[in-house]
Structure 1
Amino acid sequence: MPICTSCAASTPHLYTIYNSAYNFRLEQCTSCQAFADPYVEHDNLTLLLDLILLKRDVYRHLLYNRGLGARRAGDKPFRKDASISGDHVQGQQHYQSARWWLIVKLGFALICVDAFIRWTHISSNQPGDSSQIVTWNQAALTGFLRILVGCLFETAAFHAGVMLACYVVLKLVPSPTPPAPVSGIREQFRFSHVPLTLLYSSLTKLFLLFCLSIWRPDTTAKHQPAGGDAHAPLGPLHPNATTFSHPLVLRALALLDEDKLDRAWVVRNVLGGMAAGFGLRVVLDCHPVFTTMIILAGWLVKTAVANLVSGWVGTGLGGDDKAAGEMWLAYSIP
């Protein structure tokens, strides 16, 4: 049964179809009186943008309501005390199988994107001429395939650790008992929602990492003036520009320099962990402390697997195998 994206209460229908699939009316939630799921009439681009922006309602729509909630005009009203038919059970099993198939397809696509991002990052930081354009050859293809396999094992380990931690947390935190209301999220929750949530949450991280892999800063200039003198004045500033002279402020701002701050590591681990925790907070409907513990457990398993495969992955990246493996490991683990 679908749920309301605003209050998470179970609702029998999300919209009513009249003459055609494009002629429908959104249903109101009986609990909060808002539209049960406004994302029914939104296109895929809007859903993707809201996923990147970490909107709570779009998670509820994609995880619990996607492909459900349609009612033809003239159908009999739904009764909660009605017996569950065999067709309904068969439809739920088909929907569960379709969700696992979506996890496989989406997971493989995102792993390929992640492997390409890591390959470009590691290849651009190999010893040698940093301005040289990375080209595809036999060695590059071998390195990319090794990174792809490493990403596959690492992602599978992270998902396995998170699912195991979710199982433990759900056993320790039971659902509310009557007369306390039970959330529709807890009623409709399946463990297949967990890996799908992690994949949806990784879109924000992969989008920013992909942007960083395309628009990499020029590290050869080292922020020197055009004349080459590192101590030369920078020229006239804007009249309203803010300048800082306090040593503590200058040291704090220096931490944001490219040679001291690894932006890719911050996006992958800090922002990626926050996005995954937010997604699990939506799908598990529990306290943020538990989702933080779940993410930490997944990171521990992922770190162990990354250490195991780092040596094998590094042998196909060119240059010093040990240094390449350490570079891949430093980029992978928190």
Structure 2
Amino acid sequence: MEEPGAYRCIECSRKAPELYKDYQRGVLRISICVTSVSFYFAGCNLTSLSKKILKSCQKPVDKYIEYDPVIILINAILCKAQAYRHILFNTKINIHGKLCIFCLLCEAYIRWLQLQDSSQSTEPDDLIRYAKEWDFYRMFGIASLEQTAFLIGIFTALWLARAVVLTTKADFTFLLKALLLSSYGKLLLIPAVIWEHDYTHLCLLLIKVFVLTSNSQAIRVTLNTSRKLCLVAIVSGLIFENAIISLFQRIGWNV
């Protein structure tokens, strides 16, 4: 995996030195992904040089820099690889941690709400209020552990399949941020429950599928790998997550 901080062409995913050229006096032009020529040593003979031509797509490096953020968001919702490359490589977004916490709060709230609907108590009001508050914190902790297990499963599968992909701490951190950012679909959990109807459970299932699809696309774009490997990584994450759920159920916790 190349340097996480480098710009990328959103069409062919090759490195680009810049997104646009500034010709002064307010004249800007989007850079074109051009063919570059690189030299590398052939074998152990330092005197023999080989030339490697990196073919490019000859298209604009990043057309989205001229687009409205709403259009970019719509393309990201449609899971277009170009939109993901623009967001992950060519923009500076530092809300990964805050977004992760907020998504976990949404998931904890959904579970807490379902738990309250299924439980009845005749205890005094103070005890009920304390128990409900503790249940919410417990659901937040369970959701956090399940998310951690899901990520561990993904990184384990990637490490077993292609150990050379994540060779540095920067590569690991960059992929982790991409996975957290691609989990934004969990924000839809709240409106799905607020506008409660007969198909709420179906909506929750579709949101889960959308989040997994976004995670898969984030892996594919970040590592520039095949869909098959992304699917294996997602399935591995789900196995780890379900293992944690089974462990909680054996303990006797309602998750």
> Which position in structure 1 is the counterpart of 2:244?
305
Within 5 Å, give how 1:19-34 maps onto structure 2: 24-30=28-34, 31-34=56-59
TM-score by length of 2: 0.71
Query: How far is 1:58 from its partner?
Result: 1.8
Partners of 2:153 and 2:240 within 8 A in 1? yes
Mapped to 2, the partners of 1:271 and 1:114 lie a distance apart of 15
Give the one of 120, 127, 134 matched to 2:113: 120
Mapped to 2, the partners of 1:23 and 1:141 lie a distance apart of 58
Query: How far is 1:191 from its partner?
Result: 2.0
Partners of 2:99 and 2:184 within 8 A in 1? no
Q: Is the aligned partner of 1:191 residue 2:216? A: no
> Which position in structure 1 is the counterpart of 2:184?
203
Mapped to 2, the partners of 1:47 and 1:120 lie a distance apart of 33
Query: How far is 1:2 from its partner?
Result: 0.9
TM-score by length of 1: 0.56
The superposition leaves residues 227-250 of structure 1 with CA deviations (integer Å, 9 ceiling, x where unpaired) of xxxxxxxxxxxxxxxxxxxxxxxx
Query: How far is 1:103 from its partner?
Result: 3.4
Q: Is the aligned partner of 1:51 residue 2:56? A: no
Within 5 Å, give how 1:145-160 maps onto structure 2: 145-160=137-152
The superposition leaves residues 292-334 of structure 1 with CA deviations (integer Å, 9 ceiling, x where unpaired) of 111111111111222334577xxxxxxxxx5xx44x2xxxxxx
Within 5 Å, give how 1:97-246 maps onto structure 2: 102-124=95-117, 126-127=118-119, 137-171=129-163, 190-204=171-185, 206-217=186-197
Q: What secondary structure, in the 3-state scheme, does the structure 2 residue paired with 1:277 have? A: helix
The superposition leaves residues 75-94 of structure 1 with CA deviations (integer Å, 9 ceiling, x where unpaired) of xxxxxxxxxxxxxxxxxxxx
CA distance change for structure 1 residues 24 and 306 in 2, over 3 Å: closer, same or farther? farther
CA distance change for structure 1 residues 119 and 127 in 2, over 3 Å: closer, same or farther? closer
Query: If you compute each CA radius of gyration, which structure gives the higher value, 1 or 2?
Result: 1
Partners of 2:100 and 2:181 within 8 A in 1? no
> Which position in structure 2 is the counterpart of 1:263?
202
Q: Kindly, what percent of the aligned residue pairs are identical?
A: 26
- What CA RMSD, in Å, does the superposition of the two structures yield over aligned residues? 3.2
Structure number with the bigger relative contact order (C-alpha 8 A, sep ≥ 6) is: 1
Query: How far is 1:60 from its partner?
Result: 0.7
Query: How far is 1:265 from its partner?
Result: 5.1
CA distance change for structure 1 residues 272 and 165 in 2, over 3 Å: closer, same or farther? same
> Which position in structure 2 is the counterpart of 1:3?
8
Q: Quick check: which one's strand share is greater?
A: 2
Q: What secondary structure, in the 3-state scheme, does the structure 2 residue paired with 1:190 have? A: helix
Query: How far is 1:269 from its partner?
Result: 4.1
Mapped to 1, the partners of 2:23 and 2:100 lie a distance apart of 36
Moved over 6 A (4+): none
Partner amino acid for 1:7? Answer: C
Mapped to 1, the partners of 2:28 and 2:133 lie a distance apart of 50
Partners of 1:161 and 1:301 within 8 A in 2? yes
> Which position in structure 1 is the counterpart of 2:18?
13
Partners of 1:51 and 1:200 within 8 A in 2? no
Query: How far is 1:43 from its partner?
Result: 4.8
Give the one of 226, 247, 250 matched to 1:287: 226
Q: What secondary structure, in the 3-state scheme, does the structure 1 residue paired with 2:15 have? A: coil
- Give structure 1 stretches of 5+ with no counterpart: 68-98, 129-135, 176-188, 219-257, 313-321, 329-334
The superposition leaves residues 237-284 of structure 1 with CA deviations (integer Å, 9 ceiling, x where unpaired) of xxxxxxxxxxxxxxxxxxxxx5xx941552254333333223222222
- Give structure 2 stretches of 5+ with no counterpart: 1-5, 35-55, 121-127
Partners of 2:106 and 2:189 within 8 A in 1? no
CA distance change for structure 1 residues 217 and 61 in 2, over 3 Å: closer, same or farther? same
Partners of 1:103 and 1:195 within 8 A in 2? no
Partner amino acid for 1:199? Answer: L
